[in-house]
Amino acid sequence: MDELSLIPAQVAAPQKKHLTAARTFQGIPSCVQLPGGRLLACWYAGGEDEGPENYVVVTYSDDRGESWSDAVAVVEPQADGIRAFDANIFVDNNGKVRLFWAQSFSPCNRKPIDLRCGVFFSELTNYLESPDKWQWSKSSRISDGLMLNKPVTLKNGNIALPIYVCRKNLVGAPENVANSGCKMYLTQSDFQKITETGKCLMPCEYASWDETSIIEKRDGTLWMIIRAAWGKNNFESFSSDCGKSWSEPQESSVRGVCSRIFITRLKSGRLLLINHLPGADGGAVRNNLAAMLSDDDGKTWYGNLMLDAREQVSYPDGVEGEDGFIYIIYDRERYQAGEILMARFTEADVAAGKIISPASKLQMMVNVTGGTGKNILNVMPD
């Protein structure tokens, strides 16, 4: 059955079952601003949990996130027991728009991945047209693994893909999965040739969902940040030879609550980090989602603009728009509420640690399903 996960699902028009009214569980979003200003977002939904019914939906906004369409495109594998999930959207320096997602065999809910998984993509070839006329290229499989976070365009023009094959997974398979590792793949804008350059291995005792991010430092060093197990900070690894070799992963100063972070370099040269600030609990709960800046390539951080202090806010992704705003999308209560939210703010807001720009806005509703009504706080989330 898991061999069917190798067949690329195609991006298609949504059916009634994919629209908001028919969905409950949803989360793990990504967003980008297209040339011209339109915002495009995606996340996965389907069923009541992470499992075989999952599919990816795509939606858009033409008013800087104030209002959003219902699903305008969907990625749903047609074989039973095969899910689509962990999607992200990326626009390269040439304005090419690509949707990435993962596929995996999933025998049942809470057993969401097989040993191999796989990263897939499709290009939106005519994004300037109205969404009902959008055309997506034939989907392609890149490699084994997952790629939750965006690719990164390096100074030399190459595109680095942070792909990982988890050393541990949730289908009862043994540790030290064959072909595992936190990897970097390189390609050029045409995506015709995608090559694995090198990898590092998380220590098994600290491994979780790796959910790697890659940043190129000012001196050319590549910095990989890796999610670690519950109770540990994020880990990190470095490469000084364009990703061919990586240092042994060590605990990072970028703290974590066993959740996805978002990090990017802004046009100003500063780094922007979206992460959870420590609360009264000491930092073990997914709350206090905040934006912070670094002027020294990640050595120190400041600003701490609180985006959402509530519990069960997680998995930020975002983009610095051509309109001067930073757009951060995230989820809240994937099960109980099924909310996808957005924060729209400026670099000046983050530096000030508070909203000072008139058009900035927090906790903007992108989509809400009402959820399943289930409380899964005692279940380890993705």
Cα angle 233, 239, 240 (rounded to 5 degrees) comes to: 140
- The Cα-based distances of 290 to 10, 87, 318 in angstroms read 35, 22, 13
Cβ pair 350, 293 in contact under 8 A:
yes
Written as tens digits, the pLDDT of the chain (382 aa) is 568 899 999 999 999 999 999 999 999 999 999 999 999 999 999 999 999 999 999 999 999 999 999 999 999 999 999 999 999 999 999 999 999 999 999 999 988 888 889 999 999 999 999 999 999 999 999 999 999 999 999 999 999 999 999 887 655 455 557 789 999 999 999 999 999 999 999 998 898 899 999 999 999 999 999 999 887 889 999 999 999 999 999 999 998 888 999 999 999 999 999 999 986 555 678 999 999 999 999 999 999 999 999 999 999 999 999 999 999 999 999 999 999 999 999 999 999 999 999 999 999 999 999 988 765 544 444 5
Sequence-distant (6+) residues with CB within 8 A of 296 are none
Closest C-alpha to 328, from 273, 286, 288, 367: 273
- 3 state DSSP class of 32: strand
- The CA angle 11-139-15, to the nearest 5 degrees, is 15
Cα–Cα distance for residue pair 284/225, rounded to 1 Å: 19
8 Å CB contact between 119 and 191: no
What's the CA gap between 72 and 58, in Å, rounded?
Answer: 6
356 Cβ neighbours under 8 A, 6+ residues apart = 348, 349
Q: How far apart are CA 41 and CA 69, in angstroms?
A: 10
The dihedral built from the CA positions of residue 214, 165, 54 and 159, taken in this order, carries a sign that is positive
Instruction: Say what the pTM is.
Output: 0.95
Task: Tell me how far apart the alpha carbons of residues 158 and 102 are, in angstroms, rounded to a whole number.
Answer: 22
